[in-house]
Structure 1
């Protein structure tokens, strides 16, 4: 069962994503309620049928001071659509520092992009402008909710109303 369930805090803000199994346990143990369910799909036991949750809401508020998206290779690739930002290739992808590390560039969301090996080698130790390569957009750090909504690829339409409220953070 690869389907995922959006978990909302008691105030209806997106908290995390979990497996259907874990979501069902939270509902069954009366720690959460089903807000949306998958139509015509059920979880079955020997004697009972339960609606398959798509979105659940916790009954108790969980204090989450700040939820951010981890900076790693996989998440940079997701943000950039698994394509080289310079030529749109999907082959031999690497990470490129827009401002090269040798020239003081930091390893942070706003300085990293996905590049194929060919474009990365061509750019070398230059900025995109110096190398004559166009950067189609400025790299950015997505917020947790924006990342879930736009880049995770695991959501469904019933999640949309709960993932509209947060903006991109720098």
Structure 2
């Protein structure tokens, strides 16, 4: 079971194990905001509720703006595993502006592509072969991308993740 950690200003920070969350609560470094109904955790000092969401008692400074690193898996996830050219199931990624022509490995230059479209396009731009992109590639935003561990979201976290988006 996983627990969402909120900064003192209710900004989502990460998702951790409920055991780690319980240790933070027991050491009074966090308070429980949402509990899991059901069986409590029994300890030497009594019973504790299983935390679904905790709030840190002190503000933790997050260094700089969180930039989502560009990964193959991230590009496929952003594009919904659909080819940006034909809309079929995508298994590869493609550089819109080919690397051989100075195209960067950036969110704005990478799209998901099926093998057929990727091979057909080759070392050309979409304009050169008369194709158009079905999506506008851009860096993903929102808590699902910047808060570690929220890929598999819990319904109890939704109100807290919406505030961060």
Normalised by the size of structure 1, how large is the TM-score?
Answer: 0.79
* Deviation of the 1:32 alpha carbon: 0.8
CA-based RMSD of the aligned residues comes to 2.7
Q: Distance in 1 between matches of 2:83 and 2:150?
A: 18
Instruction: Find out whether 1:69 has 2:68 as its counterpart.
Output: yes
Distance 1:115 1:38, change over 3 A: farther
Q: Distance in 2 between matches of 1:41 and 1:69?
A: 37
* Contact 2:32–2:55 (CA under 8 A) maintained in structure 1: yes
Residue pairs, 1:50-69, within 5 angstroms: 50-65=48-63, 66-69=65-68
Task: Tell me by how many angstroms 1:49 deviates.
Answer: 4.2
* Match among 139, 142, 152 for residue 141 of structure 1: 139
Stretch moving more, 73-82 or 44-53: 44-53
**Matched position secondary structure for 1:161:** helix
Counterpart residue number, 2:128: 130
Q: CA 1:118/1:59 → structure 2, altered by over 3 Å: closer, same or farther?
A: same
Structure 2 partner of 1:5: 3
Structure showing greater Rg: 2
CA contact (8 A) 2:11 2:164 kept: no
Q: Report the 3-state secondary structure (helix = DSSP H, G, I; strand = E; otherwise coil) of the residue aligned with 2:137.
A: coil
Gaps of at least 5 residues in structure 2 are none
> Which residue in 2 is equivalent to 1:82?
81
Task: Write the deviation string for residues 21-76 of structure 1: whole angstroms up to 9, x where unpaired.
Answer: 22222112211111112333544569954322221111111001322222222222
CA distance in 1, matches of 2:55, 2:107: 31
1:56 counterpart SS class: strand
Alignment of 1:73-112 (within 5 A): 73-86=72-85, 87-90=87-90, 93-112=91-110
Contact 1:148–1:155 at 8 Å: present in 2 too? no
